[in-house]
Every structure is written in structure tokens, then in C-alpha cells.
Amino acid sequence: MTTPTSTGMNRTGIQMSPIQAGRLLEITEERPSRPGEELTELVQARESFYRESSPVGTVPPAGSMKGMATTVLETIKGHKPTVLIDKLGERLAFERTGVRLYEAVLTKLDALGSWDGGPTREQLMQIRDEELQHFQMLKETIEGLGADPTAMTPSADITAVEGSGPLMVISDPRTTLSQALHSLLIIEAADLEGWNLLIELADQIGQSDMADRFRAAEQTEQRHAMLVRQWLTQSVKADAERQMSSAQGGG
């Protein structure tokens, strides 16, 4: 069976086309490159756009901010609640997409199976459910602030763009469970940093109860990241072992 680590007809490198490569390199001999060039024009062209562009969007005014939640927000002294709402919206979107990502990985596990020291169905289901719990907790937190949990905040938007790569890898039927786990590792690492930032933000504005809830979530996410890392390491080691034993067996 062909696996992603089997040797095959990968045609992307220059050494796979010795004759055509020789012809191709004629142009580099005729027009040698100038290493160290700073691409000043390109940088300047981008710079002007960077300076002049508006942000991707703004944090929506909380509809019920005027109502009962005003008291909650008033306790956040000296702090613009929009920063918190933006970041809460980011984490909410991330955890919600996390539920879908773990569902996709579960399907991959069911279809392809696992390995010694790899994930089990139960483990993946538990992580999915914990992502869901985090999402629900964030939804309640946002509602408690009188903000709208259905809004896509600017940070939620950006985080979805960031997560689009891992999503593609995980949902691609050609990728292995191990490759999907590699993408999950990126997700879990970013998630951990997201929670750490939220904890600091909640502490800074004197919301200790909120910070405690986020700490509990962060602990759970640490476990997720550790598990994914272990499963991935086992997979790569097992691949290498298989390769070594087949090399020895084949003489």
C-alpha cells in the first residue's frame, strides 16, 4: 500500500528532470541572480497599503449593554469592554470550529484506524465534548456581559482565516490521521495561547471569577495539546521503525 512516506514518482524537484533541468538552468546562467537585493519597490508598494487600509471590522455595540449588563460592564473599570468582547468572540469561534475539527478527525479515525499509542475514539470524543463545553462557557460569559455571542468579532474573523489551513488538511480525504493530528497540534498550540491571553485580560480588569473559569479551560487544553503531541510522536516513530525493519528485512 502506498503511504505518504513511500518512495514514488514525485516529480517536483529539479533532479527528477535531468535533461529539462539542464536547459532550464541556461536562463540562470544568462541572467545571474543578485542575492542580497532588498526588494525595496515591493516592500514600499505593500507599505503604502498597510498604512492606508482600514481594519477588517469592528466590535459590534452590545445591544443589551444599555440594560442589565451595564452593571457588569461598569465593574470593568478603566477598561474598554470591546477588547474583552473581541477576544471572547475569538475564543468562542475557535472552540466552535474545534468541535467540527474533532468531528472530522473522528471520522478519519473510524475510516483509517489508529496505531499503538495513537488516539482512541473515546479520547477524541472527550476532547470534542470539552471543546463544546468551552464554547458554551464562553457563550454564557459573552451573554453575561450583555454582548451578542452570534456576532463575528474581528479577532474571530482573523482566527478563522488562520485556522483555514488546518481545516483543509483535516477535511482532505487524502491525508492520514497522523497528518491530521499535525494540523490539530497547530490548533491546540494556538488555542493554549488564546486562553493564556484571556486569563491575563480577565485578571487585568479584576474579573477573578472569569479568570478562574478560563484557567480551568486552559488546563484542559494543556492536556489536549499534550495528548495530540504524544499521538503524533508515536505515529512518526512507528513509521520510522517500520521503515527500518523493512530495510533490514529486505537486506
Binding site for another protein (CB under 8 A): 52-58, 93, 96-101, 104, 122-123, 125-126, 129-130, 132-133, 135-136, 139, 149-154, 157-158, 160-161, 164, 167-169, 171-173, 223, 227
**Shortest distance (Å) from residue 33 CB to another protein:** 26
CA atoms within 13 A on the CB side of 157: 10
SS3 183: helix
Rounded CA gap, 126 and 123, in Å? 5
**Residue 28 or 150 with smaller CB distance to another protein:** 150
**Residue 52 or 74 with smaller CB distance to another protein:** 52
CB atoms within 10 A of CB 217: 23
**Shortest distance (Å) from residue 40 CB to another protein:** 18
Grid cell at residue 143: 451573554
**Residue 19 or 42 with smaller CB distance to another protein:** 42
**Shortest distance (Å) from residue 143 CB to another protein:** 11
SS3 77: coil
Rounded CA gap, 251 and 241, in Å? 15
**Residue 214 or 231 with smaller CB distance to another protein:** 231
Rounded CA gap, 65 and 147, in Å? 7
**Shortest distance (Å) from residue 232 CB to another protein:** 16
